[in-house]
Structure formats: C-alpha cells, structure tokens
Amino acid sequence: MPAWRKLLKGPSIQRDVQEIRDLVVRYIKEETVQPLKDLGRFALYGALGSVFVGFGTVMLLLGALRMLQDVFPVLDGSLSWIPYLVIAVLAAGVIALTAWRILSGEARRRLKKPS
C-alpha cells in the first residue's frame, strides 16, 4: 500500500473532512433555510395584517353608513340611497389613498432606475 494512502486513512484527515462537511451544511442552513423562514414569517404577518386592516376598514364604513342612516332621518324613503352613495365615495377615496401610498413609495423608486 502506498504511503499517501495511509495519510488519507488516518483519523486526522477523516476528522478534518467531517468538520468541513459540517461547516458547509451549517453554512447552507444559515444562509438559505433561515432567510427563507424569516421571509415566510414576514409574508404571513403582512398578509394577516392586511386582512385585519381590510376587515377593520369595512367595519368602519359599515358603521359610518349606519350612523348616517340614524343621524339623518330625512334620508329615509326616496332619499335612502344617499348614505350608500356617500359611503361608496368614501370607500373609493380609501382605495385611491391606499393605491397612491403604494405607488408613491418604494414602487416609484424601483421604477426610476438610474440609466
């Protein structure tokens, strides 16, 4: 058996190879798996927060509609559509404000890439 084969079979080389393998596996986990977990958690909390904000907005609009119907009894009968129109315009305003804030922030900076 050649002398160099004895070197490769020694416990020192096998231990070094095992340490390198462990280091590579740990590095891959830290640099890929953990960021993916963090990204998933970020997306989950963002989606859950969006659902709650959307539900709260709908409830506020519904409350405003009921308030208009209760405070202004003159809007009964043939004028009962006016509170619905007011709330529809208010909802359109909320949607427009949301779209404006989304498009005026990070999205606009991404669209204006330097040439």
What gap in Å lies between CA 26 and CA 34, rounded to an integer? 11
Q: What are phi and psi of 52, to 5 degrees?
A: -65, -40
Q: What are phi and psi of 112, to 5 degrees?
A: -90, 65
User: What tens digit of pLDDT does each residue of 8-59 get?
Assistant: 565 677 788 889 999 999 998 888 888 888 899 999 999 999 999 999 999 9
User: What tens digit of pLDDT does each residue of 66-103 get?
Assistant: 999 999 988 888 999 999 999 999 999 999 999 998 88
Q: Which two structure tokens, joined as six digits, stand for 36? A: 């993916």
- Please report where in the chains the tokens 């590579």 appear, as a residue: 24
What gap in Å lies between CA 37 and CA 39, rounded to an integer? 5
What gap in Å lies between CA 84 and CA 86, rounded to an integer? 5
pTM (2 decimals)? 0.63
